[in-house]
């Protein structure tokens, strides 16, 4: 447990020291949303119904591009092998990486979410629905991303392939998450979509972490 | 029985579907047979 | 059975017998299916002659799905018992599987044009077939872009297995999403209720496609085994000639 939290703190320290590279996802998120608003004509009447889908798309893509370096830095500088030699289980390592990544990439997006409500003139209840859907679905996103990231360690130009590998796994999340925002208005957290998202998050954690660990083990065989 | 029956307003669609399907099956067949003939003993 | 076939020599013996049988069966079944599908089956009351598209569309999608299932299953075998042959089997299944899935999508689009009036609808079946095609492409991309062959096999196997666990979730979510939108769907009658005049060409084609896939894969495997053997011989010969120097 101690080593587990130690790894998380180490990751966050490294990220904070890296001169703001971890904030690029947030910048991408903002740019993507402004671009979409401009491309769609900038009328609130047309933007408002599309906003949940657009925000989710921006979320998914800004996260997808961040997974490329989730494990590759550790693999390149040898700390991955060090961790393996120290007798720590790969599953624990992946889990701590995933938690640190959630804190570094999903949490900033959630903090920035109220600002997007201003961009699209969203009502507070829609904003709450978005919060709930991101909170419940983000473990699945991060775990599947970790799996693809682990598969593609040491790849040149793995970014596109990472998107290609992860998108099919993420489609169910996208479907339920976007429609959960509207059902949140009537049913709150009891809407079917939230149960589906919670289920997907559980399955994704159960599959994603061991498979990511297995993929990382193949590097050191 | 016509050799190439006419399927009325669906003629184009039906024949395109069968044409593409048979073409893909044949392409795989020819490729495999070519590989088989080059197979080292 | 699985452990029996894991030995390349025994696999070779089995494949040498089975491949021609599969090939002949595929030839007969597909030509029978084509005969009944094109010449000797009635029009459908609702869909007219366009029902004939079903005889090439549905078997293509089925075979594509069967190929993915086979790919995931043999990846699992490779992962647990590390049979190198099952890795090769999974890899060999990918391209035909993707081709059949793409074929299913193309014929589905043409069928859709006759019944929906548009080539594409975000209908549950078509959407999940499209995602299946993406899964195939991702799997092949992994094989194509990792140089170290053993690592590529392990990673591609993981990708296939994770994809197969997700396929039911994808199917469920897409169907649920589809009923939200209430799009008109091709009325694909359920198999048991079909009249035998439609069922006969459909089944002939479905089994024909399956045996064709079997024939294709067994032949490719035989070729791979033979090539690997000559390569080994060649490198052995090279090393002995080096020693002679």
Q: Supply C16's token pair.
A: 């040498």
Distance, first Cα to last Cα, chain A: 27
Does A153 contact C at CB distance below 8 Å? no
Q: Residue A161: what pLDDT?
A: 87
What mean pLDDT is predicted for residues C14-20?
A: 91
Reported as a pLDDT band with limits 50, 70 and 90, residue A87 is: confident
- pTM recorded for the entire structure: 0.90
Q: Which chains does B contact via 3+ CB–CB distances below 8 A?
A: C
Q: What is the mean pLDDT of residues A9-14?
A: 85
Exposed, middle or buried: residue C131 (CB in 10 Å: 0-12, 13-18, 19+)? Answer: buried
- Report the pLDDT value the prediction gives residue C183, as an integer from 0 to 100: 47
CA A209 to chain centre: 14
Question: Is the pLDDT reported for residue C8 higher than 90?
Answer: no
ipTM field: 0.90
pLDDT reading at C220 higher than 90 = yes
CB contact C107 to B (< 8 Å): yes
Task: Kindly tell me if the per-residue pLDDT of A26 is higher than 50.
Answer: yes
Q: Nearest residue on chain B to C43, judged by CA atoms?
A: B7
Give A169 to chain C, closest Cα distance, Å. Answer: 6
Task: Kindly state whether A168 is in contact with chain C, defined as any CB-CB distance less than 8 angstroms.
Answer: yes
Instruction: Give the pLDDT of residue C244.
Output: 63
**Whether the predicted pLDDT of C186 surpasses 70:** no
> Kind and range of the H or E element at C220?
helix C196-244
Interface of B with C (CB under 8 A): 1, 5, 7-11, 13-14, 16-18, 20-22, 24-25, 28-29, 32, 35-36, 39-41
Task: Tell me how far apart the alpha carbons of residues A213 and A206 are, in angstroms, rounded to a whole number.
Answer: 12
For residue A32, the model assigns a pLDDT of 93
Mean pLDDT, all residues of chain C: 85
Residue C209, strand partner residues: none
Can you list the domains of chain C with their CATH numbers? 16-41+50-182+195-221 (1.20.120)
**Record: contact B28-C99, CB cut-off 8 A:** yes
* C189/A107: higher pLDDT: A107
Tell whether A170 lies on the interface with C, counting CB pairs under 8 A: no
Domain ranges of chain A: 2-219
Nearest to C56 among B1, B9, B18 (CB): B18
Q: Report helix, strand or coil for C33.
A: helix
Q: Which of A146-160, C59-73, C154-168 has the lowest mean pLDDT?
A: A146-160
Residues A33 and A59: their CA atoms lie apart, in Å, by 10
Q: How far is CA A60 from the centre of its chain?
A: 7
Q: How far apart are CA A59 and CA A112, in angstroms?
A: 11
Instruction: Round to whole Å and give the CA distance between C213 and C22.
Output: 9
pLDDT band at C39 (very low <50, low <70, confident <90, very high): confident
C117 vs C113: CA distance, rounded Å: 4
Q: Name which residue leads in pLDDT, C43 or A107.
A: A107
How far, in Å, are C1, C131, C164, C203 from residue C65 at the CA level? 23, 11, 10, 16
Report residue C97 CA to chain centroid gap. Answer: 3
- pLDDT at residue C185 in the model: 45
pLDDT of residue C184: 43
pLDDT of residue C23: 94
Strand, helix or coil for residue B7: coil
Question: Among partner residues C165, C172, C180, which is closest to A179 by beta-carbon distance?
Answer: C180
Angle at C46 between CA C44 and CA C52, to 5 degrees: 40
Q: Which of A155, A169, A180, A197 to mutate to test the interface with C (most CBs of C within 10 A)?
A: A169
In the predicted model, what is the mean pLDDT of residues C232-245? 72
pLDDT tens digits for C98-157? Answer: 999 999 999 999 988 888 888 888 877 888 899 999 999 999 999 988 888 888 899 999
Q: Which residue of C has its CA nearest to A165?
A: C138
- Which of A105-109, B6-10, C55-59 shows the lowest per-residue confidence on average (mean pLDDT)? B6-10
- Min Cα–Cα distance to chain B from C197, Å: 17
Q: Enter the DSSP assignment of C118.
A: S
Contact B40 C229 (CB under 8 A): yes
Query: Chains with 3 or more CB pairs closer than 8 angstroms to A?
Result: C
List chains touching C (3+ CB pairs under 8 A). Answer: A, B
Alpha carbons C230 and C242: distance in angstroms, whole number: 18
| Torsion (CA) A46, A49, A53, A54 in degrees, nearest 10 | 30
- Give residue-wise pLDDT tens across range A156-198: 666 788 889 999 999 999 999 998 988 888 887 888 889 999 9
Percent of chain A scored above 90 by pLDDT?
49
Q: Which residues of B touch C99 (CB under 8 A)?
A: 24, 28
C78, C157 Cβ separation under 8 angstroms:
yes
Contact B17 C107 (CB under 8 A): yes
């Amino acid at each position: 447990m101690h080593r587990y939290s130690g790894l998380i703190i180490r990751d966050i320290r490294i990220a904070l020291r890296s001169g703001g590279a971890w904030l690029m996802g947030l910048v991408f998120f903002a740019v993507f949303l402004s671009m979409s608003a401009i491309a769609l004509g900038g009328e609130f009447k047309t933007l408002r119904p599309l906003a949940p889908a657009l925000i989710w798309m921006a979320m998914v893509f800004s996260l997808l591009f961040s997974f490329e370096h989730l494990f590759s830095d550790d693999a390149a500088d040898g700390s991955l092998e060090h961790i393996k030699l120290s007798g720590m289980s790969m599953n624990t390592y992946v889990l701590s990486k995933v938690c640190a990544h959630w804190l570094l990439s999903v949490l900033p997006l959630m903090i920035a979410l109220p600002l997007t409500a201003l961009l699209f003139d969203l009502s507070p209840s829609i904003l709450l629905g978005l919060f709930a859907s991101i909170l419940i679905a983000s473990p699945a996103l991060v775990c599947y991303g970790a799996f693809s990231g682990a598969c593609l360690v040491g790849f040149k130009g793995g970014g596109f392939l990472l998107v290609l590998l992860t998108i099919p796994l993420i489609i169910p999340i996208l479907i339920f998450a976007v429609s959960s925002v509207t059902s949140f208005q009537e049913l709150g957290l009891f809407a079917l979509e939230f149960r589906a998202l919670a289920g997907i998050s559980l399955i994704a954690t159960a599959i994603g972490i061991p498979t990511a660990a297995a993929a990382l083990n193949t590097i050191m065989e | 029985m016509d050799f190439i029956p006419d399927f009325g307003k669906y003629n184009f669609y039906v024949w395109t579907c069968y044409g593409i399907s048979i073409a893909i099956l044949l392409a795989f067949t020819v490729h495999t047979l070519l590989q088989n003939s080059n197979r080292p003993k | 059975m699985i452990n029996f076939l894991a030995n390349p020599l025994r696999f070779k013996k089995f494949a040498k017998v089975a491949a021609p049988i599969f090939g002949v069966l595929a030839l007969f079944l597909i030509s029978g299916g084509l005969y009944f599908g094109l010449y000797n089956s009635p029009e459908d009351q609702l869909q007219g002659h366009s029902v004939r598209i079903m005889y090439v569309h549905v078997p293509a999608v089925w075979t594509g799905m069967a190929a993915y299932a086979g790919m995931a299953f043999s990846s699992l075998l490779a992962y647990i018992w590390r049979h190198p042959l099952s890795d090769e089997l999974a890899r060999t299944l990918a391209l035909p599987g993707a081709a059949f899935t793409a074929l299913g999508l193309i014929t589905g689009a043409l069928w859709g044009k006759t019944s929906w009036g548009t080539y594409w609808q975000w209908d549950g079946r078509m959407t999940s077939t499209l995602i299946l095609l993406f899964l195939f492409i991702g799997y092949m991309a992994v094989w194509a872009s990792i140089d170290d062959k053993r690592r590529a096999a392990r990673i591609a196997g993981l990708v296939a297995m994770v994809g197969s666990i997700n396929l039911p979730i994808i199917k469920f979510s897409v169907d649920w999403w589809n009923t939200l939108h209430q799009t008109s769907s091709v009325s694909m009658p359920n198999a048991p209720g079909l009249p035998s005049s439609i069922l006969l060409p459909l089944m002939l084609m479905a089994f024909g496609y399956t045996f064709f896939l079997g024939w294709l894969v067994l032949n490719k495997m035989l070729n791979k085994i033979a090539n690997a053997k000559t390569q080994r011989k060649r490198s052995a010969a090279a090393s002995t000639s080096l020693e002679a120097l």
